[in-house]
């Protein structure tokens, strides 16, 4: 039994194609803007697919009230699949008085859901805040499959230390080497990046990261790679958050930009649904 929330409606066709008929659920809004949900199907186990991208808060609340409706309807085991988890970058207190926002979200979801699967969560450590079983779904297979033919020989690059595990996993699947840059964030919109000791002269490079927001990280990494003599530069990223104009800015300087379909964008060409449903071998 699969329920697709409003936040994942862009994946509905693909989920239906793979899983067949979906559960019967009514989701609408009251005139004052509050969400209304009603579950018409019944059963014992259910999987809810709900992304929490724009509007983030509304989609989180919808996941909670869907959980409540499903329990009310008698479902015993609830699994939540989250293509994009909002608040995942608010994972630490940097100024006194701040919350660990992702903790609040994960604890709240844990009131209703027994299992949680999140695609490429920004900091996998934070999944421990979810009280039940929580799994970080890797995008590595999907990204590697998409770029296999395009990249040929080359190298996979993480734009910062934090992205190394993901880049390594993609490189392993492609049978290629991997490396990383050192990144220092100067402000929310500005980063400084230093190359490490790698030779990209005449080589194709695939930059792999979890999120593109302003595009600053990828733009900086690309300009360094061009100076170092890289041949073709491909970008494979999990979540295309894309601040205003970021798609155009990044597309202009790279040979191809592709993100997964956790968030619907004009460049969401990498299909993550089989991985999210645990179907890609």
Binding site for ligand R5P (CB under 6 A): 159-160, 162-163, 191, 209-217
Question: Which two structure tokens, joined as six digits, stand for 278?
Answer: 């645990």
Q: CA angle, corner 67, sides to 61 and 70, nearest 5? A: 140
Q: Whole-number minimum distance, CB 169 to ligand R5P, in Å? A: 15
Task: Give whichever of 49 and 205 is closer to ligand R5P, judged by the CB atom.
Answer: 205
Is residue 21 flagged as an active site residue? no
Q: Whole-number minimum distance, CB 122 to ligand R5P, in Å? A: 7
CA distance 60 to 87: 10
Task: Give whichever of 46 and 247 is closer to ligand R5P, judged by the CB atom.
Answer: 247
User: Across-strand partners of 184?
Assistant: 192
99, 134 contact by CB (below 8 A): no
Q: Which of 183, 203, 220, 252 is labelled catalytic?
A: 183
Task: Give whichever of 213 and 268 is closer to ligand R5P, judged by the CB atom.
Answer: 213
Nearest to 235 by CA among 247, 245, 227: 247
Task: Give whichever of 79 and 166 is closer to ligand R5P, judged by the CB atom.
Answer: 166
**Cα distance from N-terminal residue to C-terminal residue, the chain:** 22
Rg (CA), the chain: 20
CA distance 211 to 262: 11
Nearest to 80 by CA among 127, 46, 123, 40: 46
Q: Whole-number minimum distance, CB 256 to ligand R5P, in Å? A: 17
CA distance 159 to 194: 9
Q: Whole-number minimum distance, CB 75 to ligand R5P, in Å? A: 35
Q: Whole-number minimum distance, CB 189 to ligand R5P, in Å? A: 7
Task: Give whichever of 52 and 217 is closer to ligand R5P, judged by the CB atom.
Answer: 217
Residue 182 neighbours by CB distance under 10 Å: 12
Q: Which residues are catalytic?
A: 183
């Amino acid at each position: 039994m699969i329920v697709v929330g409003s936040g994942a409606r862009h994946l509905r066709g693909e989920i239906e194609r793979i899983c067949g008929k979906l559960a019967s659920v009514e989701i609408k809004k009251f005139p004052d803007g509050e969400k209304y949900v009603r579950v018409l199907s019944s059963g014992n186990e259910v999987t809810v697919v709900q992304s929490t991208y724009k509007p983030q808060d509304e989609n989180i609340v919808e996941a909670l009230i869907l959980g409540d409706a499903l329990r009310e309807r008698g479902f015993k085991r609830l699994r939540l699949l989250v293509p994009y988890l909002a608040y995942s970058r608010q994972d630490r207190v940097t100024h006194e008085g701040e919350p660990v926002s992702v903790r609040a979200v994960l604890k709240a979801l844990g009131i209703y859901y027994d299992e949680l699967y999140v695609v490429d969560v920004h900091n996998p450590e934070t999944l421990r805040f979810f009280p039940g079983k929580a799994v970080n779904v890797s995008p590595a297979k999907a990204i590697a499959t998409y770029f296999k033919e395009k990249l040929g020989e080359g190298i996979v690059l993480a734009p910062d230390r934090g992205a190394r595990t993901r880049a390594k996993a993609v490189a392993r699947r492609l049978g290629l080497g991997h490396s990383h840059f050192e990144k220092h964030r100067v402000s929310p919109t500005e980063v400084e990046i230093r190359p490490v000791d790698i030779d990209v002269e005449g080589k194709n490079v695939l930059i792999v990261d979890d999120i593109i927001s302003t595009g600053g990280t990828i733009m900086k990494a690309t300009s360094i790679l061009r100076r170092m003599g890289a041949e073709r530069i491909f970008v494979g990223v999990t979540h295309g958050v894309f601040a205003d104009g970021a798609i155009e800015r990044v597309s202009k300087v790279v040979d191809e930009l592709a993100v997964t379909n956790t968030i619907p964008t004009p460049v969401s060409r990498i299909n993550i649904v089989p991985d999210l449903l645990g179907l890609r071998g």
